[in-house]
Amino acid sequence: MANTQAVCNSYKQESAFGAIHAFDTTVARAGTTKDSFKFALFTSAATINKSTTAYAATNEASGAGYTAGGIAVPNATPSAIGSDIAYWTPSGSLVWNTVTFTSVDCGLLYNSTQANRSVAAYTFGSTTVAAGNFTLTMPVNDATNALLRAGP
């Protein structure tokens, strides 16, 4: 099976028509806080793609120092819009310290506040780490480069 990079179809529907995901503070769901998002890593045996609807541990990375479910995504940067494109990027890099895993090639951004619903899948090539640090450096938060973009 192959992992492919995409914004998940379920996220598109839930965001556009269901107001389910809140990257910013919101009052739409009788709350005023942001949702919590996580990023989990998966092996090349997984099938993470636009059809993924929720986080599941099947073929997730495993090994010393890695915790199932991944890590919390820093979310201090508000979403924005420019050139008719809405965009958002985590406010810091995603870092796993002193981990060991093999054949990891994909990550899933998901909303842990809302029943672990998926947001987007990201591929980065097969990676093996042996008792080291693994960092995913986040792109510039703008309409061209942001990690998550939606628009025409």
Run of H or E residues at 12: helix 9-17
- Give the separation between CA 101 and CA 65, rounded to whole angstroms: 9
Give CA–CA dist 115/138, Å, rounded: 25
Mean pLDDT of all residues in the chain? 88
At 81, the amino acid letter reads I
Quote the CA–CA distance of 111 and 109 in Å, as a whole number: 7
Note the pLDDT of residue 131.
Answer: 95
Residues 48-80: tens digit of each pLDDT: 999 999 999 999 999 999 999 999 999 888 888
Residues 6+ apart with CB under 8 A from 34: 22, 23, 24, 25, 26, 75
The pTM (predicted TM-score) of the whole model is 0.87
Q: Enumerate the domain spans of the chain.
A: 6-23+33-146
* pLDDT higher than 60, residue 16: no
Amino acid code (one letter) for 134: F
Q: Report, in angstroms and rounded to the nearest whole number, the Rg of the chain calculated over CA atoms.
A: 15
CA distance 68 to 108: 12
Q: What is the pLDDT of residue 135?
A: 96
Q: What's the length of the chain?
A: 152
The confidence score (pLDDT) of residue 86 equals: 86
